[in-house]
Amino acid sequence: MIPISDDNPTLRTPVMTYLLLAALGLTWVFFQGAGFNVVQLATSICELGLVPGELSGRAPLGQAVPLGDGLACVVDNDAINRLTPLTSMFLHGSWGHLLGNVLFFWVFGNNIEDSMGRLRFLVFYLLCGLVAAATHVAVDPTSPVPTVGASGAIAGVLGAYLVLYPRVRVNMLFILFIFIRVFPIPAWAVLLWWFVLQVITGLPQLMTLRPEVSGGVAVWAHIGGFVAGMVLIKLFENPRYTSQRTTWRHRMHPNHP
């Protein structure tokens, strides 16, 4: 089930959404080598990825985490570690990781930017990402594993969308063997289903005897970011913008929610 678009046009060009998407893509291609240079990719993840145990000081210095092909990431106490909650938001581990995040951000981000303005949206996006990072560290403070990705910040955008536009229809692509079809589904159903899946995946991670069950995905960062977006949206939205959007949408589509 893949979101490909929504029935929720914008009134203003989502410049900040485009700039953030460009930042993610350019970082992946030029800084991480687009995944084609294994050493470059591993180095970027190790040096600028978020390592909970480094931030909390609870992972032993010198502990090594294998990154494949004879490479390992070693826990250290470099000053740059303090910036990794921010830098890790712009890094990814694979093409699939990047494209999945980009797709969700492309579908939902423009409307949230349109509800608050460009600079507010940038602050909102980064703040949700930082809350997501803090949640990940709080759940697994001793982990020596580096984490990267924009998922936490984008989860905040999804949480905001649920609050502002729960009844807007999202066009979801279903693929089951040879069956391929697009169905319009209310945003509340799509986003709550996504959130429930994160919680189901993340709950076993709270069991100290089985920390590996999440498969290495920082699902609690997703959960923290999503909740942050739901809470913060009312502080960041511009009531004038949202009112304009509602009036225009009802005028253009009087029979739609």
Q: Which domain holds residue 40?
A: 2-252
DSSP H or E run through 73: strand 71-74
| Measured distance CA(231)–CA(180) in Å, rounded | 36
User: With a threshold of 0.85, does the pTM exceed it?
Assistant: yes
| Measured distance CA(110)–CA(209) in Å, rounded | 41
pLDDT surpassing 50 at residue 213: no
Whether residue 36 lies inside any domain: the answer is yes
Task: Quote the pLDDT of residue 228.
Answer: 97
pLDDT surpassing 50 at residue 209: no
Question: Each residue of 2-25: pLDDT tens digit?
Answer: 899 998 888 899 999 999 999 999
Question: Which residue is it, tokens 């890094």?
Answer: 91
User: Which token pair is 103?
Assistant: 């797709």
Q: Name every residue whose Cβ is closer than 8 Å to that of residue 142 and which is 6 or more positions away in sequence.
A: 52, 53, 56, 58, 59
Task: Quote the pLDDT of residue 69.
Answer: 79
Question: Each residue of 125-157: pLDDT tens digit?
Answer: 999 999 999 999 999 899 999 999 999 999 999
CA neighbor of 108 nearest in space, from 57, 60, 169 = 169
Whether residue 7 lies inside any domain: the answer is yes
DSSP H or E run through 59: none
Q: Name every residue whose Cβ is closer than 8 Å to that of residue 157 and which is 6 or more positions away in sequence.
A: 104, 105, 108, 109, 112, 125, 128, 229
Q: Which of 33-42, 71-80, 238-247 has the lowest mean pLDDT?
A: 238-247
Whether residue 257 lies inside any domain: the answer is no
Whether residue 175 lies inside any domain: the answer is yes
**How many domains does the chain fold into?**
1
Question: Each residue of 44-70: pLDDT tens digit?
Answer: 999 999 999 999 999 999 999 888 778
Whether residue 209 lies inside any domain: the answer is yes
User: What is the rounded average pLDDT for all residues in the chain?
Assistant: 89
Task: Quote the pLDDT of residue 109.
Answer: 97
Task: Quote the pLDDT of residue 248.
Answer: 65
Check if the beta carbon of residue 25 is closer than 8 Å to that of residue 125: no
Confidence of residue 123 (pLDDT cuts 50, 70, 90): very high
The CATH number linked to 149 is 1.20.1540.10
Task: Quote the pLDDT of residue 211.
Answer: 45
| Measured distance CA(218)–CA(138) in Å, rounded | 12
User: Which token pair is 242?
Assistant: 């949202």
Whether residue 193 lies inside any domain: the answer is yes
Whether residue 200 lies inside any domain: the answer is yes
Question: Which residue is it, tokens 């050493």?
Answer: 39
Average pLDDT of span 236-248: 81
Residue 3 region by backbone torsions, left for phi larger than 0, else alpha for psi between -120 and 50, else beta: beta
Whether residue 239 lies inside any domain: the answer is yes
Confidence of residue 122 (pLDDT cuts 50, 70, 90): very high
